[in-house]
């Protein structure tokens, strides 16, 4: 009897979990084509508004995929609209922020910092995840992205500091986003010197090298 109860409980928990965490559903080729056509036909001045509308209308399971498709198409059509499109789409669907930021920097690598800033301001609670998503695309730009995001969203400093501590051991961030060590090792992993510097000695003031 106890064994059967455990099976029932496990099944209920699994069902509850699947309901609580909706899966992300990919778009069909027809849906992607429809998004591309809508973006292509939209006037450049209306791209941000049209992009947000498309994401708002998308089904819940398709919002992230729709947001990525919309942003990619909009930036391909008009790179100058990248920041406004990213901001509008994320405000329409905040949970898509990391995926949208990653897609946007792939579409226009020259605007990485501006895109990161726009995404973080539109979804400040996901600032750390936005940095991670962009770093997955361009690992060498992680420090720069973290700094601009911290400047744009100061309240994200604690989350970003935890992210850097996890990656660098004892390393922490100062108010400018730079690393410093709070432990016995430097940020680069080397140990601080155990022996202190040699004390300076003072003579009579006479230079031994002069007669």
pLDDT value at position 148? 95
The CA distance from 43 to 45, in Å, is 5
Phi, psi of 179, deg, nearest 5: -85, 145
Domains of the chain by residue range: 2-153
The CA distance from 199 to 207, in Å, is 19
The CA distance from 172 to 178, in Å, is 8
pLDDT value at position 158? 84
pLDDT value at position 172? 44
The CA distance from 62 to 96, in Å, is 10
Strands (E), the chain: 171-173, 179-181
pLDDT value at position 119? 98
Regions of the chain with pLDDT less than 70: 1-24, 163-211
């Amino acid at each position: 009897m106890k064994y059967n109860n455990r099976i029932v409980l496990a099944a209920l928990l699994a069902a509850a979990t699947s309901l609580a965490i909706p899966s992300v559903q990919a778009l069909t080729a027809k849906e992607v084509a429809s998004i591309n056509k809508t973006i292509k036909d939209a006037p450049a001045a209306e791209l941000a508004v049209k992009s947000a509308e498309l994401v708002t209308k998308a089904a819940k399971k398709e919002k992230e995929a729709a947001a990525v498709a919309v942003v990619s198409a909009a930036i391909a059509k008009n790179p100058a609209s990248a920041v406004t499109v990213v901001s509008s789409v994320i405000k329409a669907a905040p949970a898509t922020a990391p995926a949208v930021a990653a897609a946007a920097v792939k579409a226009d690598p020259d605007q990485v910092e501006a895109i990161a800033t726009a995404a973080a301001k539109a979804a400040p609670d996901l600032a750390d995840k936005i940095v991670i998503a962009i770093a997955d695309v361009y690992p060498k730009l992680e420090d720069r992205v973290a700094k601009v995001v911290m400047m744009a969203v100061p309240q994200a400093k604690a989350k970003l500091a935890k992210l850097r501590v996890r990656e660098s051991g004892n390393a922490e961030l100062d108010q400018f986003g730079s690393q410093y060590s709070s432990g016995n090792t430097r940020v680069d992993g080397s140990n601080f010197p155990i022996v202190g510097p040699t004390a300076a000695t003072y003579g009579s003031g006479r230079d031994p090298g002069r007669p």
